[in-house]
Amino acid sequence: MLRRVGPSLRHFLLEKNSRAGRSSCSREAKMSRPVQARRLEGIDKNIWVEFVKLAATYSKVNLGQGFPDFPAPDFLTEAFSRALSGGNHMLHQYTRAFGHPPLVKVLAQFFEKLLGRDLDPMTNVMVTVGAYQALFCCFQALVDEGDEVIIIEPFFDCYEPMVKMAGGTPVFVPLRPNPPKDGKLMSSADWQLDPAELASKFSERTKAIVLNSPNNPLGKVFSREELGLIAELCVKHDVLCISDEVYEWLVYDGKQHIRMASLQGMWDRTVIIGSAGKTFSATGWKVGWVVGPDRLLKHVRTVHQNSVYHCATIAQEAVAQGFQRELMLYGKPESYFVQLPKELQQKRDWLVRSLDGVGMKPIIPEGTYFLVADISQFKSDVPDVPNSDEPYDQRFAKWMVKNKGLAAIPLSAFYSEAHKNNYSNFIRFCFAKEEATLKAANDILQKWKQEKTSS
């Protein structure tokens, strides 16, 4: 502000401020303009901050935030211990900024197999601090002021603020539920895009679409036909695809995860985002990556080199060793990528039975370690507050953790502000948990159900 006033007024204001400062040393200096950057407007709230705190304060059983409570595999933690104290002291120093060479090399080998194309580890792969930083780098590198980015609802909540921070405008298109007619439980496959509605969102302003398959929170695994429809529109309108595939190995019932980049015309316009946290059940390590064509990755590298630049060397070394093992065992029963989904599928089925048993109707996920359940039958316990701005499921989840000790995340957290109340009868559970944790959740639900029927 001071820059805009004339010299004598500026002098007067400076004098006044300094006098005020002298007369009250304890009072903080006030700036006459906002201290925060304009791009932060409207994105300061974050549901996880609130729900993680609530879970820490009240929960006896936490099926909220998405992380396993069982240990990461021994081969991975042993690789970390070897990297830490195995005698190569250089692993305690910076490594290559765009990814530790052993890790980018093995990721390139792995993705060559998965995508059926040659990859250059130095230009087609970049390592990040978790998939979160990979997403941030992609949005910053590829989205400009005025660009529109299509986001499929429900979505992993950080996409919206990240698009906005890059100056873009999110354009939402919902997955619409089609309940099965035969009274069967709903599946995440019953949530589908309306092809005409999706097509209507593409325009000359569209720069990119965010695809998350398998999808958090629903667990939907997009079919080849659905991906084909999106790919066709991307090619037709010259649109990029930011493909968040962090749950790529967590797919059930013999379903196959299809990679968008493997579809006709999509490699050149797709960045694939992955996470060692999800892949090896070690979310705290925060190792992620971006795989894609150099024409896109060179810009993603520019953001990385001007923000984070280096990721922890030891964690990258251990993840590289994990991938080397998995490359050797690819498709074999001993492979972690074969074993983990098998174990998780049993946990999923267990939680499905438990929820169905008490009438909290589960939507059976085809992938991820999340499960969304319908809370309609429990509505009477948490009375609605008419005209409240807070979506019902949010109030329900808060009430549940405070009164029953069970933590879950409201589905409305995965919708844009404008659509938050459209699907507010659902909560999301994470089932990547020890048997004892799932049993404890079941006990809470059973007791609750008994109290309901006897009251």
Give the binding site for ligand PMP (CB under 6 A): 66, 130-132, 156, 212, 216, 244, 246, 275, 277, 283, 286, 288
Q: How far is the CB of 276 from ligand PMP (least distance, A)?
A: 7
- Quick one: how far is CA 117 from the chain centroid? 27
Helices of type H across 86-158 = 101-115, 130-142
Nearer to ligand PMP, 132 or 429 (CB): 132
Nearer to ligand PMP, 156 or 172 (CB): 156
Report the alpha-carbon angle 200-201-206, nearest 5: 130
Q: How far is the CB of 370 from ligand PMP (least distance, A)?
A: 8
Q: How far is the CB of 275 from ligand PMP (least distance, A)?
A: 3
Say what angle helices 392-404 and 47-58 make with each other, to 10 degrees: 20
Cα gap 75→336, rounded to integer Å? 10
Can you give the C-alpha Rg of the chain in angstroms?
24
Q: How far is the CB of 186 from ligand PMP (least distance, A)?
A: 21
The residue type of 416 is: S
Read off the tokens for 348: 């999923």
User: Which neighbouring-strand residues pair with 128?
Assistant: 288
List C-alpha distances in Å: 143 to 148, 199, 206, 231: 8, 20, 10, 19
Query: Do residues 255 and 229 make contact, with C-beta atoms less than 8 angstroms apart?
Result: no
Query: Do residues 205 and 148 make contact, with C-beta atoms less than 8 angstroms apart?
Result: yes
Q: How far is the CB of 362 from ligand PMP (least distance, A)?
A: 19
406-407 and 61-62 as β-strands: parallel, antiparallel, unpaired? Answer: parallel
Query: Do residues 276 and 282 make contact, with C-beta atoms less than 8 angstroms apart?
Result: yes
To which residue do tokens 């996470």 refer?
Answer: 275
Nearer to ligand PMP, 248 or 392 (CB): 248
Q: How far is the CB of 353 from ligand PMP (least distance, A)?
A: 25
Q: How far is the CB of 384 from ligand PMP (least distance, A)?
A: 30
Cα gap 78→89, rounded to integer Å? 17
Q: How far is the CB of 66 from ligand PMP (least distance, A)?
A: 5
